[in-house]
A and B are shown apart, each in its own frame.
Chain A
């Protein structure tokens, strides 16, 4: 299944998601995250996109994956956070 969403993170920036997911297992196959946020270092978003492959489309699973990546790599986001990003991704299911 292909789906896309746009989500303005409260007090943050606009995040756009292009999602390909497995309809039966509800797992992420491919994801592209774009938007007018700031992320350091610049490859942080590509790393998150890659690591989200295979993750279940459940808020706590997505958030945990993103939080783990942020913490282990010292990513810094401005106008973006793991909650907003997960909410944006889950909007693709609506």
Chain B
């Protein structure tokens, strides 16, 4: 018997709401209120997320964000800054004690990234896991991933770039020269790719959803059934959105 996991297609939300929903699922799952959950979503308006330990002002050009109408939010996960536009974003929430989740954090990145790699493969794109937290296609980044563990529960979220405007991306993000010091290709703009770049056509979010969903089902030998956020999760998400992710105190805390 395949285990049944919940699948949420919440589609487009603003940055604060998106992060609040992931956090709400994490809390609800840790209390045993909801099953392991895979969620697909995107960002309206386009947004930047920064890693929990990053300095907002060092990573993001806030004036350019304002000019382009781009929101920004601090994640509860570590990792780097990401510009979210034309992508499929996923999150998975599952108990740390679940038998399909490796105890070792690095191993669990590999396992969850396996679902993304299988999903991309279903869509005709070959990619490989590049530790610590990237997935590469033809040597370029097509997916970034970030994980946290809280209340004995794993939250990993990440991106699949459907299309990318590198000029816009790097006008919003500040990338230090030091970050590129040991990379073979030092121009950041040459280091990212997208589904569109690989397949030479525009792919909308809705077109890739089923193949990506199947990637999770195959990797974890589980069945994803379509569900909705529970009332408790909506209540929690409202609270996190209002009292955490939309606040200056949170976003500017480092």
Contact = CB atoms under 8 A, between A and B. Distances in A.
Interface string A38-51: 11111001000000
A16 to B, nearest CB: 7
Interface in B35-75: 51-55, 58
B176 A39 contact: no
Interface residues of A, number: 23
B143 to A, nearest CB: 16
B53 A78 contact: no
B125 interface: no
Interface stretch (B83-91, B144-152, B158-166, B209-217): B144-152
Contacts of A35: 51, 53-54
Interface in A1-52: 6-8, 10, 12-14, 16, 32-42, 45
Contacts of A32: 55, 254
B51 to A, nearest CB: 5
A14 B179 contact: yes
B234 to A, nearest CB: 25
Main secondary structure of the interface of A (DSSP, over half): strand
A16 B176 CA distance: 10
A4 to B, nearest CB: 9
B80 interface: yes
B182 A37 contact: no
B54 A36 contact: yes
Interface in A66-94: 76, 78-79
A11 B132 CA distance: 9
A10 B181 CA distance: 10
Contact of A45 (B53, B148, B176): B53
Contact of B53 (A34, A41, A76): A34
Contacts of B150: 41-42
Nearest to A7: B178
B51 A36 contact: yes
Given A36-B51, A36-B53, 14 more contacts: A8-B179, A10-B182, A13-B132, A14-B80, A16-B55, A36-B78, A38-B77, A38-B132, A38-B133, A41-B150, A78-B78, A78-B105, A78-B106, A79-B132
Interface of A: 6-8, 10, 12-14, 16, 32-42, 45, 76, 78-79
